[in-house]
Every structure is written in structure tokens, then in C-alpha cells.
């Protein structure tokens, strides 16, 4: 069983990874064990002095805290330490800002950054560029801080309007997919669990993959073919992390709604990470928060080639252990996905004339075909398989049985 000390160690190692992902280099690590946080500076006075000495020794220009700091704590620490002070939330927002590529992703990150920044404006000496201006934009005696706050609130309003248009467009596209019942599978998991590598292997896509946190930020959807020939849509999603900023969850909620529409979730777990159980629990908690209760889940323990000696699955069933770099494992995973989907499908048997190739192709692409036999006497194909009841092809099958 993991102790609090071990958990703290893993979180600090994760903070180092986040710092590297943001382009920083760790000069020194300083920790403190307190019963409660100091209201004004989060850490004690002696620890502040210790960090000041470390800054002088290492010539560090930034201090990063692993917990979210209040606006007053940030201001007080920046004044006392005389260098830039940021917290875990700000660090994650910075990484997201660098990684966002799509227009929606950039807007979502900017929204989260501005909502984080608004209560922390005072004392930061921010010089924000002002778009617009003119008569009525500045009242008599208005301070620069008030102007900055107004600018940010206006920008937040503008971003929310732009995002609402993007969300409504996606909802129309989602409704269309639902009407056509294109089977959807969503990859979810802790950051750096290997989701993008698996996504590329399963779909032959070319999404960005690298051994770093938050390598994928913008969701990507590609088609994938199961062993039976049935086509499904697979979506790669942003990785989860412990203490994920609430502002980011809120900003990316519309994107994460895609997860709720999936027919199956593939929960990817890095079985080589010493804290994999906590990672697994973090993802499960966030999925619950997103309202995915009731959705079928297949847990995929990845990186078996680097697996821990003491690794053991936390589940009794509905899991598979693989390496994304093993072709045999990829085929095993596709078969496991197919078996999982079968539990939600309805059996059928239908006769198709030899000349109706279009109908045969339709069945192969949209249903799980189990058998395909040729009846020489009647010159028909006898097709048996499984189909989703709410798929449009189900009605066609029932009519022509």
C-alpha cells in the first residue's frame, strides 16, 4: 500500500516533468512538512529564507509551488523572494498554451488563463494590450488595474461567445453521427500513458506522440477497422492529471463531452509507472465527474515491455495487458474491443442476393459479421452477425429478413 510520503514523492517527480514540458530546468527542490499552510505565504518564514538562499546559490529566476496558491500568497511570495512565483495550476496552463494547435484549443486555454488571472491581477504590474478603446471605455479617475480587469472581462465574454459557436457546430456534427450511429470509441487515461502511440497504431494516424506530459491536447478522431471489417471511429483525448485545475476542466468540458457520447471507453494505464494505481483512480474520479457512469470501459494496461516487477491489475475482469509496440498485442486489443462491443449488440441473420454487393459492403462496414455462407441453390449469401439496434442499418435488416 502506498504511503503519503511515496505519493508526495511521485507528485514532486511529476512536477519536475511538468517543468521540463514547460521548457524549464529544475535547479533545486525544496520541501516542507507542515500541519497547515501559512495563510500569508503558504510556507513558513524559515522556509522562505531557505528558498531565498537557494535562489542566490543557483541563480534561479522562477519558483514553482506544487499546490495552488491564493492571490495574496502569490503576491507576498513574489515580494519576499524577488523572483517570479507560479503554482502548479499556472504551470499546467502554460504547457496547455504551448501545445494547443486548433482554434478551439487555443480559445479554451486562453479562457482558463484569463479566469485564473483575473483575481490575481493586483500587484502583478501587468501591462495588457488593449484592443478597441475610444469614448466610453475609460471613466474619470479609473486606475490601470480597473482597466486591466475590464479588458480581461471583455475578452472572457468574447471567448465564451466564440466557443459557444464552435460547441454548437460540434453538437450538430455529433447529432449527425448519432443518427448514423457511427460506433465511437474514446481513448482516456493519465497523461503520458501512451494514448497517442496506441491511437496511431490502431488507426494508422499521425498524431503527435512523445514521451512527455500533455503531448496531445487537441482531440483527434480517425476511423479504425475491427477484425470483422466493421468500421468504428476512435478519438484520442487530452490526458488527465492529479489536481487538474478546475478552470481547465470547465474550459475543456465541451471537448470532453465527446467522451460521454462514446459506445466504449478505452482507459489506458501506464503499467510501468510506480504510481499507476493512483493514476488509474484519478482518471476514474474525473470520468465520474464528467458523468460517464454506465458507459462500458475496457482497461488497457500499456507498456508491458517496461512493466514493474510488482505490477498487478487492479481489476478482476474487463482488462488487457499489452505493449503498443507489439503488433500481436494490437491485434489482441482490436479483438478485445470487438468482444466488448458485442455485448451491446443484437444478433441477426439475413439473406442477400449475389448481385447486391452494395448491401454486403454495408453489412461488413456497419455490423459485426460472424459468418458469410453462399447458398448455391438459391444463389444467395446467408449473413449472420451483430448490429446496434439504433443503427439505421438495423431497420433495413429487419425489413429484408
Q: 44 labelled as ligand-binding?
A: no
Of 220 and 322, more confident: 322
Q: 192 labelled as ligand-binding?
A: yes
Q: 196 labelled as ligand-binding?
A: yes
Indicate whether 1 pLDDT > 50: no
Q: 244 labelled as ligand-binding?
A: no
DSSP readout, 322-354? --TT-HHHHHHHHHHHHHHHHTT-EEEEEEEET
Q: What global pTM score does this model have?
A: 0.79
Q: 134 labelled as ligand-binding?
A: no
Query: Check: CATH 3.40.50.11060 for 1-96?
Result: yes
CATH of domain 182-343: 3.40.50.300
Q: Do residues 173 and 250 touch, judged by C-beta distance below 8 A?
A: no
Q: 194 labelled as ligand-binding?
A: yes
Phi, psi of 54 (to 5 degrees): -65, -40
Q: 84 labelled as ligand-binding?
A: no
CA–CA dist 248, 96 (Å, integer): 9
User: For position 207, what pLDDT does the model report?
Assistant: 52
Q: Which grid coordinates are listed for 382?
A: 446467408
Q: Give domain limits for the chain.
A: 1-96, 100-123+146-181, 182-343, 346-399
Indicate whether 54 pLDDT > 90: yes
Q: 329 labelled as ligand-binding?
A: no
Q: 305 labelled as ligand-binding?
A: yes
Indicate whether 104 pLDDT > 50: yes
Q: Which pLDDT tens digit goes with each residue over 324-358?
A: 999 999 999 999 999 999 998 999 998 888 888 88
Q: Which pLDDT tens digit goes with each residue over 182-217?
A: 788 999 999 888 888 899 899 886 554 555 555 555
Q: 206 labelled as ligand-binding?
A: no
Q: Which pLDDT tens digit goes with each residue over 4-45?
A: 788 888 889 989 988 988 888 999 999 988 888 899 999 999
Q: 250 labelled as ligand-binding?
A: no
Cell 478505452 found at: 266
Indicate whether 52 pLDDT > 70: yes
Q: 178 labelled as ligand-binding?
A: no
Q: Do residues 60 and 27 touch, judged by C-beta distance below 8 A?
A: yes
Flag the least confident range among 13-22, 43-52, 143-152: 143-152
Q: 240 labelled as ligand-binding?
A: no
Q: Do residues 354 and 381 touch, judged by C-beta distance below 8 A?
A: yes
Amino acid at each position: 500500500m502506498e504511503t503519503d510520503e511515496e505519493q508526495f514523492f511521485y507528485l514532486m517527480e511529476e512536477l519536475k516533468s511538468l517543468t521540463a514540458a514547460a521548457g524549464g530546468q529544475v535547479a533545486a527542490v525544496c520541501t516542507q512538512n507542515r500541519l497547515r499552510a501559512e495563510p500569508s505565504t503558504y510556507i513558513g518564514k524559515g522556509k522562505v529564507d531557505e528558498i531565498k538562499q537557494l535562489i542566490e546559490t543557483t541563480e534561479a529566476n522562477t519558483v514553482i509551488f506544487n499546490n495552488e496558491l491564493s492571490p495574496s500568497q502569490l503576491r507576498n511570495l513574489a515580494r519576499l523572494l524577488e523572483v517570479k512565483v507560479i503554482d502548479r495550476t499556472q504551470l499546467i496552463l502554460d504547457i496547455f498554451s504551448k501545445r494547443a494547435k486548433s482554434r478551439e484549443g487555443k480559445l479554451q486555454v486562453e479562457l482558463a488563463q484569463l479566469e485564473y488571472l483575473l483575481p490575481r491581477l493586483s500587484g502583478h504590474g501587468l501591462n495588457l494590450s488593449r484592443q478597441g478603446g475610444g469614448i466610453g471605455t475609460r471613466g474619470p479617475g479609473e486606475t490601470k488595474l480597473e482597466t486591466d480587469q475590464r479588458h480581461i472581462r471583455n475578452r472572457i465574454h468574447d471567448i465564451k461567445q466564440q466557443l459557444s459557436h464552435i460547441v454548437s457546430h460540434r453538437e450538430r456534427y455529433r447529432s449527425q453521427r448519432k443518427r448514423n450511429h457511427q460506433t465511437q470509441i474514446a481513448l482516456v487515461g493519465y497523461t503520458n500513458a501512451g494514448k497517442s502511440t496506441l491511437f496511431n497504431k490502431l488507426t494508422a494516424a499521425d498524431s503527435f506522440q512523445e514521451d512527455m506530459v500533455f503531448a496531445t491536447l487537441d482531440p483527434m478522431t480517425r476511423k479504425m477497422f475491427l477484425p470483422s471489417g466493421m468500421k468504428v471511429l476512435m478519438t484520442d483525448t487530452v490526458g488527465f492529471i492529479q489536481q487538474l485545475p478546475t478552470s481547465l476542466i470547465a474550459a475543456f468540458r465541451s471537448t470532453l463531452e465527446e467522451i460521454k457520447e462514446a459506445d466504449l471507453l478505452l482507459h489506458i494505464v501506464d503499467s510501468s509507472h510506480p504510481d499507476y494505481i493512483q493514476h488509474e483512480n484519478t482518471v476514474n474520479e474525473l470520468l465520474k465527474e464528467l458523468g460517464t457512469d454506465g458507459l462500458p470501459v475496457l482497461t488497457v494496461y500499456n507498456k508491458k515491455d517496461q512493466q514493474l516487477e510488482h505490477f498487478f491489475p487492479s481489476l478482476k475482469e474487463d482488462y488487457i495487458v499489452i505493449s503498443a509496440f507489439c503488433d500481436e498485442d494490437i491485434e489482441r486489443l482490436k479483438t478485445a474491443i470487438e468482444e466488448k462491443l458485442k455485448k451491446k449488440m443484437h444478433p441477426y441473420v439475413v439473406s442477400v442476393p449475389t448481385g447486391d454487393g452494395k448491401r454486403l459492403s454495408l453489412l461488413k462496414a456497419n455490423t459485426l459479421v460472424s459468418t458469410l455462407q453462399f447458398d448455391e441453390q438459391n444463389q444467395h449469401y446467408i449473413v449472420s452477425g451483430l448490429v446496434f439496434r439504433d443503427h439505421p442499418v438495423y431497420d433495413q435488416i429487419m425489413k429484408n429478413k
